[in-house]
Amino acid sequence: MKLLLDENLSPQHASELRTEGHDAIAVLEVGLAGAADEHVLRFAVENGRLLVTLDADFANVMRFPPERTLGVVRLKVHPATEERIRRAIRRALLFLQNIDMAGRLAVVDEDKIRIRR
């Protein structure tokens, strides 16, 4: 699973994921800092990456229909501390490892993971 971590996630998470063997890059690492959501999502699709984000806008299926993506993982973590984010990402990756996320939206909160098309 190839991942693109949105700019609201520290690039440190992408770095840690790479050391664990995941193919992960951060938006900040590819020169998309401050880019519009549409540009970030287009980059993810064009590069075959699942988008991981804290941004609730990406969970708006009217604005960003999941079927036009290779998958979006929306982390719903409050408070969004680095440790809680780290745990949510790891939990999501473990849960989703055998699921084809293309065209799907996963919402990950601290109690459950919901997947919708």
For 47-81, the pLDDT digits (tens) are 999 999 999 999 999 999 999 999 999 999 999 99
Name which of 51, 114, 111, 28 is nearest 77 in CA terms: 111
Rounded to two decimals, the pTM is 0.95
Instruction: Show the tokens assigned to 14.
Output: 């992408």
Query: Tell me, what's the pLDDT at 110?
Result: 87
Please provide the DSSP assignment of 52-110 as one string: EES-GGGG-TTTS-GGGSS-EEEE--SS--HHHHHHHHHHHHHHHTTS--TT-EEEE-S
pLDDT tens, residue by residue, 4-19: 999 999 999 999 999 9
What is the reported pLDDT for 105? 97
Residue 23 neighbours by CB distance under 10 Å:
14
71-110 pLDDT, tens digit each: 999 999 999 999 999 999 999 999 999 999 999 999 999 8
Delimit the domains of the chain by residue range: 6-71+82-101
Cβ proximity of 101 and 50 under 8 Å: yes
